[in-house]
Structure 1
């Protein structure tokens, strides 16, 4: 609409707790966003493994907050009782929007004593995002699943 100065449509989303019926949408979103970030890796081949990990590790042990827009799941964050943020997933169409920051803010609210995470060292976009959101570099490691080098990052509250 001409002259409209309000927030863009991408601004309108809601955050809520994960529900079992969100599983397929969450796994599909995970696959699509990681495929976009790492086009040379076949994430379709990893869906079975990811679904088992989702059901057996993340759902029972982490708070999962999802973001919805117009009835579609567009992002999620997982944070466990120790403050470990395992997954921050945002639909590629929302990269650079306030969605990821809103999800991280929710993780901070759920874990006010601090958050730790691992991010692939070749994911410069994610590293810059976490730095802007108050995370500091806390060492380097290797992802035990992928064998890729990762950066440990920490937010101390």
Structure 2
């Protein structure tokens, strides 16, 4: 982990400002990591979802880097790692590792998650953290209609 990543504070998202900042990270990250995936929702709908659902009703965490503000977001829903997105310039600096460690702490019995089949970097990342691919679909069960894969981690 880089010294810069160690100086980042990871905390629960609480405010409307956190929701707005987390949504912007999600939008930038999705565009950078998944350029071929057609999003099911507009930018404004994503922002509304963070403001109305994810921050007030889910276990949403943000990573905040001093003067840069929010640079990462993670959402846990029980034993599901529902969202993990980093600002593109923060990928590969250990921040994702911190989020996964936190998710495992909060769900010590195990975790599952979905990622798109085209997201090979995510596959490598989760496999490096002990997750195993257990199910592949044609995408008919997700809003984007994009083939996906389910990963599971069990201690």
For the superposition of Structure 1 and Structure 2, which TM-score range results when normalised by the shorter chain?
A: 0.7 to 0.9
1:63 aligns with 59
1:3 aligns with none
2:114 aligns with 118
Q: Rg: which structure is higher? A: 1
1:4 aligns with none
> Residue deviations 1:34-88, cap 9 Å, x none?
1111335676x7212213333444335421111111141010111112x111100
Per the alignment, in what secondary structure is the counterpart of residue 113 of structure 1? coil
1:19 aligns with 14
1:74 aligns with 71
5+ residue gaps, structure 2, are none
Question: Partners of 2:110 and 2:148 in 1: how far apart?
Answer: 19
Alpha carbons 2:60, 2:73 under 8 Å: kept: yes
Runs of at least 4 residues off by over 3 Å: 39-43
Alpha carbons 2:14, 2:56 under 8 Å: kept: no
Aligned match of 1:89 in 69, 73, 85?
Answer: 85
Question: Partners of 1:53 and 1:68 in 2: how far apart?
Answer: 20
Give the RMSD, CA atoms, in angstroms: 1.9
| TM-score, scaled to structure 1 | 0.85
- The structure-2 alpha-carbon separation of the partners of 1:107 and 1:10, relative to structure 1 and needing over 3 Å to count, comes to closer
Question: Partners of 1:76 and 1:150 in 2: how far apart?
Answer: 21
Alpha carbons 2:37, 2:146 under 8 Å: kept: no
Question: Partners of 1:112 and 1:119 in 2: how far apart?
Answer: 21
1:105 aligned onto 2:101: yes
1:128 aligned onto 2:109: no
